Structure 1
Amino acid sequence: MKNNIIKKAGLYIRTSTDNQQDSIQLQRQELRNYCQSKGWVVHEDYVDFGFSGKNTERPAFQNMMRDAKEGKFDILLVTKIDRFARSIIDCLVNVEKLESYSVSFAATGQPIDTSSAMGKLTLQIMASFAEFERSIINERMTAGRKAAEKRGVVCHRPRKDIPKKKLEELVGKGLSANACGKFFEVTTSTITHRLVEYGYVYENGKWVEK
């Protein structure tokens, strides 16, 4: 970027459940403060409510990547890399995509900024350690599950039946995914994934049909 041009920043914000409004506001404020300190302008907030970072099938994430490809902003900001992606492969692949669009990537709460060689190296090291830690946890969980199954313990549950009509009725009344999860006695992530399957997106603080 030329020195006399003000950077436009895209802000990516994510929570695992859609009732973490405080987390959303804290992330947004941290990112906006960072932009203000740098003299950058905010192009748009890309907010995914109630979506895990395990994959990139998130509405706001996909919108953000499309806008990056179209050159609508110069740098993507997150507070921490696990808000962007939980998998090292997803993280590095999508950072590479951003760079191919001439968009830098930075985490305000970590020493990561892909506009510098050191920032790129730091990103790779931290993503590798994060992936390693999750692999160890998954291995332990898998071993524990296998041991339990040998003892005759059932460790998996069949897909929960969530009637589409009833779920749409609750969402239409303004209930959050967290509240719907309590109604159907399932996790919030189960509800968010089912809503996405049914063609819903989370916009302006509520679930709406595409």
Structure 2
Amino acid sequence: MVAIYARQSIDKKDSISIESQIAFAKREIFSEECKIYEDSGYSGKNTNRPAFTEMMHDIQTGQIEKVVVYRLDRISRSIVDFADFIDVLENNGISFVSATEKFDTSTPMGRAMLYIIVVFAQLERETIAERVRDNYYARVKKGAWGGGPAAYGFDLVRTTLDGK
């Protein structure tokens, strides 16, 4: 059986929906029998996700022969997690297909290209996290609310600073 895995951190208008990811992946499997694993609302920073865990169990119990995803970063944006995932696939003789990025994981060059892409996915995740941290710091430094609930015993009051 073929596993189709889809993940979406948050539902934003500029991100591809889980339904669209599944549609792309189905084009790769033609009429093969498949099982769909969906994780909605989970980050790619690690693999602690319910559907991903279920898929890994199915892989290790011999139920899956191929894993198809929309893009590599749907699996993980962590180099270590992705390398562990690929090792499990290789140890179980399972092929891996990305619907939008074409790699042949049976060759050394294909595996190398796969890892290079994952390095950039991790870089992107870390850069976004850094930007968000810097933005919160800048807001607090200007006297704006940093976010979250008010501290116990305090109330949030909307005020205007520099016309904003």
Please name the residue that 1:93 is paired with.
84
Q: Residues 1-210 of structure 1 correspond to what in structure 2 (within 5 A)?
A: 8-17=1-10, 23-36=17-30, 41-158=32-149
8 A Cα contact 1:74 1:103, kept in partner: yes
**Matched residue pairs, number?**
148
In structure 2, how many angstroms separate the alpha carbons of the residues matched to 1:75 and 1:149?
Answer: 48
Percent identity between matched residues is: 35
Q: TM-score, normalised by structure 1?
A: 0.60
In structure 2, how many angstroms separate the alpha carbons of the residues matched to 1:77 and 1:116?
Answer: 18
Letter matched to residue 29 of structure 1: A
Letter matched to residue 133 of structure 1: E
8 A Cα contact 1:11 1:44, kept in partner: yes
Q: In the TM superposition, what is the alpha-carbon distance from 1:66 to its structure 2 partner?
A: 0.2
In structure 2, how many angstroms separate the alpha carbons of the residues matched to 1:150 and 1:49?
Answer: 34
8 A Cα contact 1:17 1:49, kept in partner: yes
Q: TM-score, normalised by structure 2?
A: 0.74
Counterpart of 2:67 in 1: which secondary structure?
strand
Change (3 A) 1:46 1:145: same
Please name the residue that 2:162 is paired with.
none
In structure 1, how many angstroms separate the alpha carbons of the residues matched to 2:128 and 2:40?
Answer: 25
The structure carrying a bigger helix percent of its residues is 1
The runs of 5 or more residues in structure 2 that have no matched partner are: 151-164
Aligned residues: CA RMSD? 2.7
Change (3 A) 1:141 1:50: closer
In structure 2, how many angstroms separate the alpha carbons of the residues matched to 1:19 and 1:143?
Answer: 22
Counterpart of 1:10 in 2: which secondary structure?
strand
Q: In the TM superposition, what is the alpha-carbon distance from 1:47 to its structure 2 partner?
A: 1.8
Q: Structure 1 runs of 4+ off > 6 angstroms?
A: none
8 A Cα contact 1:111 1:122, kept in partner: no
In structure 1, how many angstroms separate the alpha carbons of the residues matched to 2:19 and 2:134?
Answer: 38
